[in-house]
Amino acid sequence: MTQYDDTVEKQRLKLEAEEWASKTKSIHAHSLDSLHYDDRPQDTENGKSVFDVEYNDGSVRRTLCTGETVIMGTPLRGQDLIDSYTRA
């Protein structure tokens, strides 16, 4: 049965990484337009505020002052996610 140890370990690591990915990395309420992940500077023009929640998978959920929600970034998947998880 030890021939499956590597496969089982890889699956365990993958499941842990997927759980970790959905957890919050940071929360930021602001009116800045210069954040490294911000590809929507129009959301904060003229002093408008936004509420950003950054997740461990690299995605950011932005809530605008109107209540609208926007998802920014591309979530990490597969080996890239596992690599990021093991570095954290």
Looking up tokens 């997740």, which residue turns up? Answer: 55
Query: What is the extent of the structural domain holding 68?
Result: 2-87
Q: What are phi and psi of 75, to 5 degrees?
A: -60, 140
In sequence order, what are the beta bridge partners of 26?
54
pLDDT tens string 17-68: 999 999 999 999 999 988 888 999 999 999 999 999 999 999 999 999 999 9
Nearest to 70 by CA among 81, 59, 80, 79: 59
The structure's pTM equals 0.85
Q: What is the pLDDT of residue 36?
A: 87
Number of domains the chain is built from:
1
What is the spatial distance between Cα 84 and Cα 17, in angstroms, rounded to a whole number?
Answer: 8
Q: Exposed, middle or buried by CB within 10 Å (0-12, 13-18, 19+), for 57? A: buried
